[in-house]
Amino acid sequence: MEFFNLHTHKFTNQSNVLELVNQYPWEFDATIPYYSIGIHPWFIVEERLESDFEILESKLKEPICIAIGECGLDKRIEVPMELQVLVFEKQLLLAQQYQKPVVIHCVAAFQELIETIKKLKITVPILIHGFSKSEQLAKQLLENGFYISFGKYLLLNKELDAVFKSVPNNRFFLETDTVEEGIEAVYELAAKYKGISVEEMQNLVNSNFLEVFKIEL
């Protein structure tokens, strides 16, 4: 594995890239080799939750499902927070049961996120995807044991370089999410910000991958 893409919605099937493709239970694609699966707060449909959770749990038993998510909390949508918390907590407990890392979507609800993880005593790795916030928030997340993934906003916002540089080398991942740029472009920029070569960046991410996902590739 030359490159690991922690979170993408588009499977590109490149031989040198391991992509953790985001999947949803209601539109599952069995042809994708490695994936995460979860119920995103944007797409919670109460009438469908029972079948969504049935599919979700069945996929968590498969070794090519290497994470749960993206899932989480979002205060800027109309889905009631009470329902979001219920769905999120159930997914966290499944992650703990099946020992899968969790890829998190969080908007304006980081304190609630931290409190929920603590309340449920979740010990599996928690990965905040698409980070775009302050160095102070990054520090708080790191202190609570989270990993932080950078991608789209690293490419779009030059001011995020200081935040990225402040994250220890053993606590970050890289991703593309929905951007057109390939994961190689994210690695190149990340390496530049850290003052290392792309090869050194590859070694760092590979080491973090092994630590979190416990898979030899």
Token pair, residue 167, equals: 């994250």
What number of CA atoms fall less than 13 Å from residue 46's CA on the CB side? 6
| Structure confidence by residue, pLDDT tens digits, 32-66 | 999 999 999 999 999 999 999 999 999 999 999 99
User: What integer best gives the mean pLDDT of the chain?
Assistant: 96
Domain containing 142 equals 3-213
Predicted confidence band of residue 1 (pLDDT cuts 50, 70, 90): confident
- For the chain, the domain total comes to 1
| Structure confidence by residue, pLDDT tens digits, 175-199 | 999 998 999 999 999 999 999 999 9
Predicted confidence band of residue 215 (pLDDT cuts 50, 70, 90): confident
pLDDT recorded at residue 23: 97
Considering only CA atoms, which of 45, 54, 90, 98 is closest in space to residue 72?
90
Phi first, then psi, for residue 36 (nearest 5°) are -110, 155
| Structure confidence by residue, pLDDT tens digits, 89-142 | 999 999 999 999 999 999 999 999 999 999 999 999 999 999 999 999 999 999
- pLDDT over 70 at 217, yes or no: no
CATH number, domain containing residue 134: 3.20.20.140
- pLDDT over 70 at 151, yes or no: yes
